[in-house]
Amino acid sequence: MKAAPIFSDVLLGLAVLLVLASALGVLVMPDAYQKLHFVTPAALVAPILVTLAIGVRMGLTENTGESCVALFFMVVAGPYLSHATMRAIRVREKGDWRPGGGGKAPEAEREQ
Amino acid sequence: MHPRFAGRVPGKTPRVTQPTRVAESEPTRREAPVPVARRVGAWVVWWIVLMSFWVMLDDSIQFDEMLAGAGAAALAALAAEVVTYQAAARFRMRAEWLAPALRLPGQVAGDLITVFGALWRKLILGRDPRSEFAEIPVRYGDDTVEGATRRVLLVGGYSIAPNQFVLGIDKDLGAMVVHRLESKDGGG
């Protein structure tokens, strides 16, 4: 049995586990800020694993290239979506995302 | 009546007042008109890039497929050009700014352990993560295209690892405001 299909399956399995764990994190975390931190593993790391799995299984083919293009967009857009979402939550809560903009100073603002 | 013309006295030039404070997140206003040739050039560049993506993703060089792709790329290029023009958005960067990106895979891997460690403690011990808002000192920089690009890259770079997201860069504070799921001082 060749190693590439097994390695590819392991990568896909890891991606599935990561998405399941992230979904669990979104489910159990108490507030919106904390839930958002569990989106990145599902939206960034799992797609990297899936793309690697495709690359390992199919080699340098068009499918791998297409997966890389899709991954590129996800890697570039993901951090800014998280940033914009977190900022929107903060603005909705405090009126401004800045430390002095209607909320307490960040140092004094530890949630727990 | 549009508010812009409210209170205008006939024969007098309306006085334009500047807003007292413009948030750094608001789009900048274009101060000088851009030549049409330059805008057409930008549209052509967008069209070439988007058409390349179409060919790569559609995986076909049939005439009708290419025609559909050319039309879709033309519309998308028009939208991209109009948006970047309206927002006065331009991108200019230095190669050395990309060097810190080499550390990102390690940071993502480390933060994955931190984030899922917090999930483990929540599930097993019932303990909520010790989240915090924090300030990271950064130089805000100037209001040039290069300065704005640097800030955009800073926000993206600091938001890619899952334990930390950037809310923004405060010019007055000279600091980047971030939210961390687990604080740096002993979340475990």
User: Domain extents for chain B?
Assistant: 31-89, 95-180
Q: What is the band of B51 on the pLDDT scale with cuts at 50, 70, 90?
A: very high
A29 and B122 within 8 Å at the Cβ level: the answer is yes
Given CB atoms, is B31 within the 8 Å cutoff of chain A? Answer: no
Is 60 exceeded by the pLDDT of residue B4?
no
**Segment of B86-90, B119-123, B139-143 carrying the highest mean pLDDT:** B119-123
B180 and B158 Cβ atoms separated by less than 8 Å: no
Strands B175-180 and B164-170: antiparallel
ipTM of model: 0.82
Distance CA B77, CA B42 (A): 9
On chain B, the residues whose CB falls within 8 A of the CB of A43 are: none
**In this prediction, what percent of chain A has a pLDDT beyond 70?**
88
Residue with the two structure tokens 């004094």: A108
B134 touches chain A (CB under 8 A): yes
Q: Where are the alpha helices (DSSP H) in B35-139?
A: 36-58, 63-86, 104-124
Best residue in B21, B22, B61, B119 to probe A by mutation, most A CBs within 10 Å?
B119
Report the gap between the CA of B146 and the closest CA in chain A (Å): 19
Contacts of A109 in chain B (CB under 8 A): 132-133
Two tokens at B118?
A: 């917090």
Q: Is the pLDDT of residue B78 over 50?
A: yes
Q: How far is CA B141 from CA A83, B138, B147, B152, in A?
A: 20, 9, 6, 12
Chain A residues whose beta carbon lies within 8 Å of the beta carbon of residue B170? 98-99
Q: Give pLDDT tens digits for A75-104.
A: 999 999 999 999 999 999 888 888 766 444
Is residue B162 within 8 Å of A43, Cβ to Cβ?
Answer: no
From chain B, pick out residues whose CB is under 8 angstroms from the CB of A71: none
Per-residue confidence (pLDDT) for residue B109, from 0 to 100: 93
Residue A72 lies in domain: 3-111
What's residue B99's pLDDT? Answer: 82
Contacting residues of B for A83, CB less than 8 Å apart: 155-156, 159, 165-167
Nearest CA in chain A to B181: A34
State which residue of chain A sits closest to B117, comparing Cα positions. A25
Residue B164 pairs in a beta bridge with B180
How many domains does chain A divide into? 1
Q: What are phi and psi of A100, to 5 degrees?
A: -95, 5
Of A34, A78, A99, the CB nearest to B129: A34
